[in-house]
């Protein structure tokens, strides 16, 4: 299978790293605006199946030209979500399959941003499902760790564990620290600001999708494997769009384990206007404040050797089991940064993200997953994906939770 990966940052590098260990990959082209960055990764891995290329992910015609030159079976979008639509549309025009780990951006409701939805995450992509189906090509969207693995957990719980789901919450948390930095996010600050400061999205049966104020419904969630209790709040995330389309649940939401300090920093960023995406004039140069913020912080891909701790992605589900008895579980996946650095040379968060599109590619290559049109991870049988996690040396687990408040 031939892949074109656009973006040679932390996730793109980890994708190339993982892919180099899988025999089903016949060629992988790693493309970036900085050609030298892609070339450095390819040189480090020393795999003749890997090649480097240059691309501007903001330029539709430039992406189309690269797709024609490389003729991939699939394009994997490994850049931040502001570039989703140029890459997605380039693939559509060139009749080429597509994957991403974050979906097209939302736009808040113009009058009631904290109660009603405007344009939701992924709406622009799903609106074009008909055209992808007619062209006999597919797009697998939201196939990172969250969204992605978390959606597979939700589908597995629905298929195998529960007869009724009352509550489905994706909880993400970690105890990661970075030596020498008081504030150094382990993932793209551009994306983190986008999802945390936008109105959070919630789904409820009978009400549909609605929004709340940022950082709503704070609670302490006790994460497994020594991570411990972390303050979690509602944020905007793709799972809340995807899961209700294929999983029958009374409520779906996403809670990010930010912790009080990170929440305070994000509120300050917003207060100062540093989250703005619109350009401002700085001494004759047009630049967005959020881009200045991102450029001022350390590149998450470079933090692995100074990072300590674990990261956890998981899906909490409560309701009635297949026998009609109350049950609550947390299906989760933990990566220890020490392990991912030792085994792959990639820090835990980017490695955990990059793992999932490679597994999905392999399942599609084997004919186990058969996407048509625009699809999310929960469109497909979950067990083969979870079995691949174990095969890749990254096992998932289930923790039983207190179900005493679940009504029969």
| Residue 255 to residue 272: CA distance in whole angstroms | 25
CB-CB contact of 290 with 193 (8 Å): yes
pLDDT for 52 equals: 98
CATH superfamily of 2-100: NAD(P)-binding Rossmann-like Domain (3.40.50.720)
Length of the chain: 408
* Strands 307-308 vs 177-178: parallel, antiparallel or unpaired: antiparallel
Phi, psi of 21 (to 5 degrees): -100, 5
Confidence (pLDDT) at 296: 84
Task: State whether residue 215 is helix, strand or coil.
Answer: coil
Q: Are 352 and 313 in contact (CB under 8 A)?
A: yes
| pLDDT for position 355 | 97
CA dist., res. 229 & res. 208, Å (int): 30
Q: What is the pLDDT of residue 187?
A: 66
CATH of 149-344+395-400, one of 3.30.420.40, 3.90.550.10, 3.40.50.300, 3.30.360.10: 3.30.360.10
The model's pTM is 0.94
Give, for all 408 residues of the chain, the pLDDT tens digit. 999 999 999 999 999 999 999 999 999 999 999 999 999 999 999 999 999 999 999 999 999 999 999 999 999 999 999 999 999 999 999 999 999 999 999 999 999 999 999 999 999 999 999 999 999 999 999 999 999 999 999 999 999 999 999 999 999 999 998 887 777 676 677 888 888 889 999 999 999 999 999 999 999 999 999 999 999 999 999 999 999 999 999 999 999 998 788 888 888 988 889 888 889 898 898 988 988 888 888 777 777 778 899 999 999 999 999 999 999 999 999 999 999 999 999 999 999 999 999 999 999 999 999 999 999 999 999 999 999 999 999 999 999 999 999 999
Q: Minimal CA–CA distance to 32: which of 48, 17, 61, 10?
A: 10
What is the Cα–Cα distance from 327 to 407, expressed in whole angstroms? 10
Which residues is 233 bridged to in the sheet? 256
Beta-carbon contacts of 2 under 8 Å, excluding residues fewer than 6 positions away, are: 26, 27, 28, 29, 70, 71, 72, 73, 74
Can you give the pLDDT at residue 65?
98
The phi and psi torsions of 337 (rounded to 5 degrees) equal: -60, -35
DSSP classification of residue 276: -
Can you give the pLDDT at residue 351? 96
Please state, in angstroms and rounded to a whole number, the distance separating the CA atoms of residues 208 and 206. 6
Q: Using DSSP, state whether 61 is helix, strand or coil.
A: helix
Same fold, 2-100 and 149-344+395-400: no
3-class secondary structure, 366: coil
- The per-residue pLDDT for 186 is 67
Q: Alpha helix (H) ranges present in 142-225?
A: 149-156, 189-197
How many Å apart are CA 373 and CA 135, to the nearest integer?
A: 8
User: Can you give the residue ranges of every domain in the chain?
Assistant: 2-100, 149-344+395-400
């Amino acid at each position: 299978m031939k892949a074109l990966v656009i973006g040679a940052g932390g996730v793109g590098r980890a994708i190339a790293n993982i892919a180099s260990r899988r025999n089903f990959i016949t060629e992988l082209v790693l493309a970036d605006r900085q050609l030298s960055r892609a070339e450095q990764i390819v040189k480090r891995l020393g795999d003749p199946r890997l090649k480097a290329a240059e691309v501007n992910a903001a330029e539709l015609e430039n992406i189309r030209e690269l797709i024609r030159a490389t003729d991939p079976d699939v394009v994997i979008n490994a850049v931040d979500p502001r570039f989703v639509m140029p890459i997605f549309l380039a693939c559509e025009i060139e009749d080429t399959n597509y994957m991403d780990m974050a979906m097209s951006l939302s736009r808040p409701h113009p009058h009631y941003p904290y109660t009603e939805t405007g344009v939701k995450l992924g709406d622009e992509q799903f609106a074009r499902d008909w055209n992808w189906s007619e062209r006999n090509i597919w797009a697998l969207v939201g196939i990172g760790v969250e969204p992605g693995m978390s959606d597979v957990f939700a589908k597995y719980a629905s298929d195998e564990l529960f007869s009724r789901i009352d509550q489905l919450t994706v909880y993400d948390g970690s105890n990661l620290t970075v030596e020498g930095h008081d504030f150094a996010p382990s993932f793209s600050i551009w994306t983190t600001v986008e999802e945390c400061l936008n109105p959070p999205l919630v789904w409820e049966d009978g009400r549909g999708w609605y929004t709340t104020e940022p950082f709503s419904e704070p609670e302490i969630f006790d994460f497994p494997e020594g991570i411990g209790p972390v303050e979690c709040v509602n944020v905007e995330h793709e799972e809340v769009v995807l899961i209700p389309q294929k999983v029958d649940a009374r409520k779906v939401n996403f809670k990010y384990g930010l912790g009080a300090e990170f929440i305070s920093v994000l509120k300050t960023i917003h207060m100062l206007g540093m989250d703005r995406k619109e350009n401002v004039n700085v001494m004759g140069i047009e630049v967005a404040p959020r881009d200045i913020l991102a450029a001022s912080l350390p590149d998450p891909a470079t933090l692995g050797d100074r990072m300590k701790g674990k990261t956890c992605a998981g899906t909490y589900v409560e309701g009635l089991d297949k026998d009609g008895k109350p049950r609550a579980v947390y299906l989760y996946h933990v990566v220890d940064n020490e392990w991912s650095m030792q085994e792959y040379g990639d820090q835990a968060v980017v490695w955990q993200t990059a793992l999932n599109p490679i597994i999905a590619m392999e399942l599609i290559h084997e004919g186990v997953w058969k996407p048509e049109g625009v699809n999310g991870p929960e469109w497909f049988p979950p067990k083969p994906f979870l079995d691949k996690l174990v095969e890749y040396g990254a096992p998932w687990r289930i923790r039983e939770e207190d179900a005493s408040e679940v009504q029969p």
